[in-house]
Amino acid sequence: MVYLDHAATTPVRAAVADVVSAEMGRIGNPSSLHNAGRRARRVVEEARETIAGALGATPHEVVFTGGGTEANNLAVKGLYWARTRADPRRRRILVSSVEHHAVLDAAHWLAEAQGAECVQLPVDEYGMVQPEAFHEELRRDPDGTALASVMWANNEVGTIQPVAELARIARDYDVPLHTDAVQAPAQLPVDFAGSGVSALTVSGHKLGGPMGVGALLLERGVEPTPVLHGGGQERDLRSGTVMTPLVAGMAAAVELVHRERDEHVATLTALRGSLLDEVRRVVPDVVLNGHPSQRLPGNVHLTFPGCAADALLLLLDAAGIACSTGSACTTGVAQPSHVLLAMGADRDSALGALRFTLGPGSSPADITELGHALGPAVQRARRAEAVRGDR
């Protein structure tokens, strides 16, 4: 299989699997006071130090979660509840219109069930939030805004947001800015303190680590209301037994990507250029989505005119090429990507997009295989779409 879907999940690195496997062979709850518990606690705290050091945070700012979705929910819901409790006027939540559903749906739920006002920030044709628009929306009602959330880099089209500039603006209005940085650390330098954001989400399986573990970085003094209650683990912000083997594996993965990033990014950038050239050679009218330069090095998001992306994806899958559709399938009905619609694409264009994402193990041979398979697949997909249009 040619795997071109690293934005969905990246294979666990061998060294990481060894760490997880070794830790699973040991016993001990990190909350226990006996020797086995203290040993597990040491593993957890060393992992916390490793992740903090690689991401420009202090260990106290790292709160472990069960993944990126949980971290996003803790940030959005928890900060909203904490802020509205302190000042009931703060009911507004500002989110970019291209956020992952883990942020968008959390904000929409707060609007439907808790009386929040969810304001979706517009983006330009590249999927980028313009600082001027963000500033204008904050200025509209600064005392009524509870929090803002703008992702570091978009999971679909790869556009990198001006997070540091947005954070500076948010601080001028005393509004905490959360950023979903799940797609970022494997390909971009992430400096939590330097960015100025108040909260930041990361996930293990996007970094060559295990699924089922993530972290929310919280600036000192930023205390969201917990979503989970129980034993009071993780500073009483995320109750539940800390998953020692997964935390250790995530730390090992973060350390690897931090050490190898420069070389990895250079490789991805070259491969991305080759992939785009090859696709354009085979399908000259293909359209690149997202920012042409301010984008993740491993992301190539393309619209294939005259194609239904779900059909094209299945044709490529049958040829041994794994990629991702730009539309989500709900109850068997293709839905256009909310990201592409927010960028100004029409419905047909949004339904004709595929995402190819590169990562560790990607090679020139993968691009050659894609080139062989893509031309015939596009021709078949276009014929099928033309037949359907004639009905």
Cite the active site residues.
Answer: 329
Contact 4, 354 (CB under 8 A): no
Q: Which residue has the tokens 């420069």?
A: 262
CB 74 within 8 A of CB 224: yes
**Residue 227 vs residues 71, 73, 103: alpha-carbon distances, Å:** 10, 8, 14
Structure tokens at 38: 């203290």
Determine whether 156 is exposed, middle or buried from the number of CB atoms within 10 Å of its CB (0-12, 13-18, 19+): buried
Q: Please, are residues 301 and 326 in contact by the beta-carbon 8 Å criterion?
A: yes
The whole-angstrom separation of Cα 317 and Cα 312 is 8
The string over 319-347, giving b where at least 16 C-beta atoms fall within 10 Å of a residue's C-beta and e elsewhere, is: bebebbbbbeeeeeebebbbbbbbbebee
Sign of CA dihedral 242, 243, 246, 252: positive
> In three state form, how does the secondary structure of 31-44 look?
CCCCHHHHHHHHHH
